[in-house]
Amino acid sequence: MDIPEKTVGNVGIIFLSGRLDAYAANEVEQKLNLLCAAAKANVVVNLKGLDYISSSGLRVLLAALKKVRKQNGDIRLACLQPYVREVFDIAGFTQLFKMFDLEEDAINSFKEA
Amino acid sequence: MKGNCSAIEVESKLENIPVIINFITDTLDGLAVDPAIIFKVQLAVDEACTNVIKHAYSGQIGIITLTCELLDDNLVITIKDKGKPFDPRSVPPPDLEADLEQRKIGGLGIYFMQKMMDNVSYEFSPEEGNKLTMRKRLTPEKAD
């Protein structure tokens, strides 16, 4: 998976696309580990281009979230497509991650106290 | 599907998961199945095959055989491997209410299989190995 990234202020944003299955999960895990290594890392994962996610993808996101929250940072999700959102709902992940319809809203949420 | 059944055989490697899923998608597209159902079947098959790839052959490469059959209005998918015996139904469901700290990293795959499909059954024999059968009705039940 090609995983572009950008920075807006102190927020790192990565873009996932296509399918996040067990095969793609390793690469995404490595990218997230890099982004989340710093203390108080603020990360937005833009899922607009993601058509599909399996439990392997959820596992990688959850592991990164646990790590980053221990260091007073956060991972927030933006632009989930309907089927992907459904997978998050079924897995009970909707209560674990902050989710936003727009990338801009996810980025701005880090500015709030 | 030729007749009512199609099949694929792949090596148990993660890079073959997209191959398997494309097989499912192509088969179901050809039957004009609702995209929402295709998504659910894809996910269930993905999870089942990922388990086989990760666990059945203890790190070695083995063969996974997948068949896709239409019986009346039901899609019947079987996934066979000759790895070590494993009944996915023996895995307890994840705690979906757990908070972040308590939430376990794994365990969702089998839960998804059972949620996405109408029925999941399992058999093992020394000759045939593991056989997982998953069923999904392709059209909604008609209301009375």
ipTM here: 0.89
Q: How far is it, in rounded angstroms, from Cα A105 to Cα A80?
A: 13
Strands B74-81 and B129-137: antiparallel
Instruction: Write down the pLDDT at residue B2.
Output: 46
Q: Do A62 and B105 touch (CB under 8 A)?
A: yes
CATH number of B2-137: 3.30.565.10
pLDDT at residue B1 is higher than 80: no
Query: Dihedral of the CA atoms B36, B54, A34, A89 (nearest 10)?
Result: 30
Instruction: Write down the pLDDT at residue B142.
Output: 53
Please provide the average confidence, as pLDDT, over all residues in chain B.
Answer: 88
| CA distance to partner chain B, nearest, from residue A27 (Å) | 13
pTM of the model: 0.90
Mean pLDDT of all residues in B85-110: 83
* A12-63 tens-digit pLDDT: 999 999 999 999 999 999 999 998 888 789 999 999 999 999 999 999 999 9
Q: How far is it, in rounded angstroms, from Cα B77 to Cα B121?
A: 11
What residues of chain A lie within 8 A of the CB of B46, using their CB?
Answer: 21-22, 54
Instruction: Write down the pLDDT at residue B96.
Output: 84
Dihedral sign for Cα atoms in the order A95, B48, A20, A59: positive
Please provide the average confidence, as pLDDT, over all residues in chain A.
Answer: 93
Q: Do A23 and B115 touch (CB under 8 A)?
A: no
Strand partners, B5: B69
* B63-86 tens-digit pLDDT: 999 999 998 889 999 999 999 998
Instruction: Write down the pLDDT at residue B140.
Output: 67
Q: Do A54 and B46 touch (CB under 8 A)?
A: yes
Q: What 3-state class would DSSP assign to B76?
A: strand
